[in-house]
Amino acid sequence: MAVESFFSQAFTGLSIGSILLLIALGLAIIYGSMGVINLAHGEFLMLGAYATWFMQSQLGVGLLGSLVFVFVMVAAFGWLLERTIVQFLYHRPLDTILATWGIGIMLQQGMRLLAGGELRYVELPGSLDVTLSLMGLELPLYRIFIIVLTVGLLAATWYLMKRTEFGMRLRAVTQNRAIAESYGINSKRVYSLTFAYGAGLAGVAGALVAPIKSVSPDMGTAFVVDAFMVVVMGGVGSLLGAVVSAGVLGELTAGVAYLLNDTLAKVLVFLTVIVVIRFRPQGLFPDRTRS
Amino acid sequence: MSQKWLLPLLGYVAFSVAILSVPAMVGDNVFLLNKYARYLALALPAVALALCWGQAGILNLGQGFSFGIGAYAIAMHLKLVASASNPGGLPDFMGWNNVGALPWFWEPFHSLGFAVLAGIGVPVLLASLLGWFMFRARIAGVFVAIITLAMLVVGNLLVVDQQRYTGGLNGMTDLAWLNVLGLQIDPYSRAFYYLTAGSLIAVLMAGFVLVRSKFGLILQAIRGNPERVRYFGYDVARYQSVAFATSAGVAGIGGMLYAMVLEFASPTFMAVPLSLAFVIWCAVGGRQSLLAAAIGAVVVNAIQGSLSEAFLDTAQLLVGGIFVLVVLFLPRGLGGLVEDTATRLHGAGARLRRGREAVEKSVDLPVKRGEVAK
């Protein structure tokens, strides 16, 4: 019994961690490569959730069918924002906090006007709305699906960053923009595409969390704070760091929530983040590049 | 030097006179007075932020933590006063949560003096500890922002969670009026407006002196280059901690006034959006000047207030848009705009004078006989 509940909590932690990672992935890329603290990330997620809701309730397209569309739509939106606003703030990183928060406020209110302020619900895909019983454990299939998809997105992102021409350009621009430009890399284009990719990931995250959390215009605020803790604790620009810190925070949340309660779990998680940043401001797994 | 003092001081005095003459202009419209008192109470956290962010370069995204503690401290006192006729003097929400007797840490809040002291002292103490913890390790920039944000979330979660002692999500409502030496101060009255305006003016004047003292100069130097200040032998972490703690105390005062003007305290005071709104007001006004930050808070709130009366839904949309534009085009806020215009005018005058002097001097450049001909 004790062993079973241990594994059950471990699975819950894994599930929380995968959602955290899913949300933080786009943020980690944008913050890690451009130093932009994108507080509108939560609103990108909210846009993704609403797009999924709209597809399902108005057009009858299921969650799985709308994932690609959601990615493209939110990515295009992110690209537009980068071109019009964010690109002017690269030399003022703290100001990006303020500008993106302003954008976030507008998106929230815009969505409230468009879709109304009430909570919206997205249905689980029928094929995934089952619970697996495995060695005495009850595992909701949708949670497993999120874990698998997160791993998939992580692998795709890793491949994009480390194995493609685009990723090489991005890493070059991140290391030294001026020298990268003198080799003929169009840094503006690299930045705007990266921002779009990060936004698209947030949109997919929004689509995936929509069935398990309720969809509302201000749903993003809580997510963006959590995602930030993951990214900063993991270390700027480190995918591995984001994975480990999402895992640690997820398991910690589940474990403490099991022993005490949900709120105290979150409190302890945030205090852990504070202590980690205090003693390792470079994060758990800092990116070893010269800046 | 005296001129450097004089112009800003005139600005501070003009602002003080302006806010003190508001009651004479609105007459007996106590609802307007209450609304303006609310704006002035909200100016205090913006001033606090200008102090630690604008002066020392410490971006505190969790100013609501101090603001909320101030609000809850005074709310605890006023709740006890309002609950005096209840059995055991127990606040209503404690009864609903099956709390049998008043918890020990509520007892001292029977005293107004203690509540006020706690509303300022607790934020100062906690900020000193957190500041000491952060700045000793030379944490700066984004990391300070994230730590303060995390601290804010912790505070908010705890207040919501400890429903038995804090009223949870509902907060503390139905507060009594402030009673100073037997005098009841209705939040919808001139007296309360003057209390708020007076507090803001006192803080601004103290801040005016502080910013221009040697202490203020060192803070600005730390903002510019902490490493160099350290080489000069200053204890940078101590200066940063003091600035951080002072700012927390000011935010605490703001929180106390805000809870009184609204007649309730709620966990939303400690929620992320309000704290980021403080940052917005401060940035719109201009973080480099305490006065500009105060004006920023009043202006943004007034715009937001009048917009939401005119067309309810789009107000936030416009406020967000204004804010993005300010960050893009006026990085030093409205205050920076005024300053730049002033220096440009002043600079143009100085250039004119210098030019005239140069012309006058060039006339009697000594030229020796025969020099030109060769």
- Three-state SS sequence of chain B: CHHHHHHHHHHHHHHHHHHHCHHHHHCCCHHHHHHHHHHHHHHHHHHHHHHHHHHCCCCCCCHHHHHHHHHHHHHHHHHHHHCCCCHHHCCHHHHHCCCCCCCHHHHHHHCHHHHHHHHHHHHHHHHHHHHHHHHCCCCCCHHHHHHHHHHHHHHHHHHHHCHHHHCHHHCECCCCCEEECCEEECCCCHHHHHHHHHHHHHHHHHHHHHHCCHHHHHHHHHHHCHHHHHHCCCCHHHHHHHHHHHHHHHHHHHHHHHHHHHCCECHHHHCHHHHHHHHHHHHHHCCCCHHHHHHHHHHHHHHHHHHHHHCCCCHHHHHHHHHHHHHHHCCCHHHHHHHHHHHHHHHHHHHHHHHHHHHHHHHCCCCCCCCCCC
Instruction: Pick from A83, A91, A98 the residue to mutate for testing the B interface (most B CBs within 10 Å).
Output: A98
Residues whose CB is less than 8 angstroms from the CB of residue B109 and which lie 6 or more positions away in sequence, other chains included: B73, B76, B77, B80, B115, B118
Q: Does the beta carbon of A160 lie under 8 angstroms from any beta carbon of chain B?
A: no
Contacts of A39 in chain B (CB under 8 A): 276
Is B309 a residue whose pLDDT tops 60? yes
pLDDT in tens, A228-265: 888 888 887 778 888 999 998 888 888 888 888 888 88
Measured in angstroms, the CA of A33 and the nearest CA of chain B are apart by: 15
Rounded Cα–Cα distance for residues A115 and B170 (Å): 27
Q: Give B88 or B334, the one with higher predicted confidence.
A: B334
Residue among A231, A237, A225, A211 nearest A277 (CA): A231
Greater model confidence, A282 or B232: B232
Cα separation of A225 and A227, whole Å? 5
Write down the ipTM of this complex: 0.87
CB contact under 8 A, B331 and A95: yes
Q: Mutate which of B49, B129, B153, B304 to disrupt the A interface (most A C-beta within 10 Å)? A: B153
pLDDT digits (tens, 9 = 90+) for A40-78: 999 999 999 999 999 988 888 888 888 999 999 999 999
User: Pick from A88, A110, A267: which is nearest to B157 by CB?
Assistant: A267
Share of chain A above pLDDT 70, in %: 98
Burial B188-202 (b: 16+ CB within 10 A, else e): bbbebbbbbbebbbe
Q: What's the mean pLDDT in B24-34?
A: 86
d(C-alpha A45, C-alpha A23), whole Å: 8
The domain segmentation of chain B, as residue ranges, is: 2-268
Query: What Rg, from alpha-carbon coordinates, does chain B have?
Result: 25
Assess contact for B268 and B169: CB atoms under 8 A.
no
Does A36 touch chain B if contact means CB atoms closer than 8 Å? Answer: no
- Reported as a pLDDT band with limits 50, 70 and 90, residue B295 is very high
The answer for residues whose C-beta is within 8 angstroms of residue A112's C-beta and 6 or more apart is: A217, B313
Whole-number pLDDT of residue A288: 58
- In chain A, what percentage of residues exceed pLDDT 90? 35
- Averaged pLDDT, B44-67: 94
> Tell me, what's the pLDDT at A290?
45
Interface of B with A (CB under 8 A): 59, 61, 133-134, 137, 139, 141-143, 145-147, 149-151, 153-154, 157-158, 160-161, 272-273, 276, 279-280, 283, 313-317, 319-321, 323-324, 327-328, 331
pLDDT of residue B374: 46
| A290 or B309, which is more confident | B309
Confidence bin at A291 (pLDDT 50/70/90): very low
Question: Of B250, B257, B345, whose CA–CA distance to B41 is shortest?
Answer: B257
What pLDDT is stored for residue B313 in this prediction? 63
Summarised one tens digit per residue, pLDDT across range A99-110 is: 998 999 899 989
**Cα distance from B136 to chain A (closest Cα, Å)?**
9
CB-based contact B157 A263, cutoff 8 Å: yes
What are the pLDDT digits (tens) for A167-200? 999 989 888 888 999 999 999 999 999 999 999 9
